[in-house]
Amino acid sequence: MPKIVSVGAYLVDIPVETVRTDAVQAFLKQETIFVEVRTDDGLTGTGYSYTIGTGGRAVLSMLRDHLLPLLEGRDARDVEALWHDLFASTRATTVGAITSLALAAVDTALWDLRCLRAGEPLWRLAGGFRQAVPVYDTEGGWLHLPTDDLVRGALAAQEAGLRGVKLKIGRPRPEEDAERVAAVRAAVGPGLDIMVDANQSMTYAEARRRAHLLEPHGVYFFEEPLPADDVQGHRELARSTTIPVAVGESMYSVGQFRDYLARGAASVVQADVARVGGITPWLKVAHLAEAFNVVLCPHFLMELHVSLVAAVPAGAYVEHIPQLRAITRAELPIEDGHAVAPDVPGLGIAWDRDAMDDLRVL
HEC string of 166-218? EEECCCCCHHHHHHHHHHHHHHHHHHCEEEEECCCCCCHHHHHHHHHHHHHHC
Pick from 36, 33, 59: which is nearest to 46 by CA?
A: 36
pLDDT digits (tens, 9 = 90+) for 44-88: 999 999 999 899 999 999 999 999 999 999 999 999 999 999 999
| Domain boundaries, given as residue ranges, for the chain | 3-119+353-359, 123-340
At the topology level, CATH places domain 3-119+353-359 in Enolase-like; domain 1 (3.30.390)
pLDDT digits (tens, 9 = 90+) for 86-120: 999 998 888 899 999 999 999 999 999 999 999 99
H-helix or E-strand containing 335?
strand 334-335
Kindly report the CATH number that applies to the domain delimited by 123-340: 3.20.20.120
Active site positions, annotated = 168, 299
Q: Structure pTM?
A: 0.97
C-alpha distances (whole Å) from 125 to each of 38, 260, 360 are: 20, 28, 31
How far is it, in rounded angstroms, from Cα 336 to Cα 133? 10
Instruction: Quote the pLDDT of residue 296.
Output: 98
Instruction: Quote the pLDDT of residue 63.
Output: 98
Instruction: Quote the pLDDT of residue 120.
Output: 98
